[in-house]
Amino acid sequence: MKPDSPAIAPPQSTPATRDRLIAAMQGALRSKGYHGVGLSELLAKAQAPKGVLYHHFPGGKSELAVAAIEAVIHQLTTGLQRLMARDPDPARALAAWMDSAQKVLAGSGFAEGCPLATIALESTPDDTQVRIALAQGFAAIRQHLTGTLHGAGIAERRAAQLAALIVSAYEGALVQARVAGQVDAMRDTTDALVDLVRVSLPPAPTRSTLDTPTP
C-alpha cells in the first residue's frame, strides 16, 4: 500500500446492526444457552457479517453475551418501573410483572426461558466476564426491588430480604414452568410472593387517622 493510501475502513453497518446482534444473542440465551449457539448461527440470525460483530464487540461472543445480559437487566427493571408508575401498590405491580413473564414463556411454547437463568446454570469459571455481568445484573434487580419495597414502607432490611427471595423464586419458578410445559409453578410462586409482600406492608391509615386534625 502506498504511504499516502487511505487506511482500510472498518466494515460499514447501521446503528441497528448492534441491536440485532444483541437481540440474536438474547434469543439464543433464552432457547439454547450460551454454549449451545455458535457465532455462525448468531450472525445469520442478526443478518450481519463477522467483521461487523468484531467491530461492535471486539471481545467476540463473550462480549456480545455481556451486552445481551445488560439489555435483559434493563428490560426487567424498566418493566417494573413502568408497572409501578401505573400502580404504586408493590404487590399488584409484582403480580403484573411476574404474570408478564408467564405470558412470554407460554407464548413461546415453553421453549424460551429467562436468559439469565439459562446462562447462569451453564457458565463455567472460565466465563469470567459473563459471570461478572450476571452477578452485577442480579444485584441490580435486587437493589431495584429493595428500593421499590422500601419506598412502599417496608423496613430496608426486610425489603432487601424480600427482594432476594423474589429474584430467587422468580428464576426458579420459570425454570420449573419451562420444563413442565405449564405455568402452575410460576402462578403458585407469584401468589405466595404477593401474599408475603402484602403482609410485610405497613397498615394503611384508617379514616379516623386521616380525619384527625393536625395540632
Residue by residue, pLDDT tens for the chain (215 residues) are: 444 434 444 444 454 899 999 999 999 988 888 888 888 899 999 998 888 899 999 999 999 999 999 999 999 889 888 888 888 899 999 999 999 889 989 998 998 888 898 889 888 899 999 999 999 999 999 999 999 999 999 999 999 999 999 999 999 999 999 999 999 999 999 999 999 999 999 987 644 444 455 55
189 is a domain residue: yes
188 is a domain residue: yes
Q: Name which of 95, 124, 125, 101 is nearest 114 in CA terms.
A: 101
The number of folded domains in the chain is 1
Residue 99, judged by CB atoms within 10 A of its CB (0-12, 13-18, 19+), counts as middle
86 is a domain residue: yes
173 is a domain residue: yes
3 is a domain residue: no
Sign of CA dihedral 33, 35, 37, 39: positive
- CA distances 127 to 36, 62, 114, 119, Å, are 14, 8, 19, 10
154 is a domain residue: yes
111 is a domain residue: yes
**pTM recorded for the entire structure:** 0.81
- pLDDT per position as a tens digit, 131-174: 999 999 999 999 999 999 999 999 999 999 999 999 999 999 99
Q: Are 135 and 66 in contact (CB under 8 A)?
A: no
Query: Could you tell me the residue range of the domain that residue 79 belongs to?
Result: 66-201
CATH code assigned at 109: 1.10.357.10
Alpha helix ranges (H) inside 32-183:
39-46, 50-56, 61-86, 90-107, 115-122, 128-151, 156-180
144 is a domain residue: yes
Distance CA 189, CA 197 (A): 12
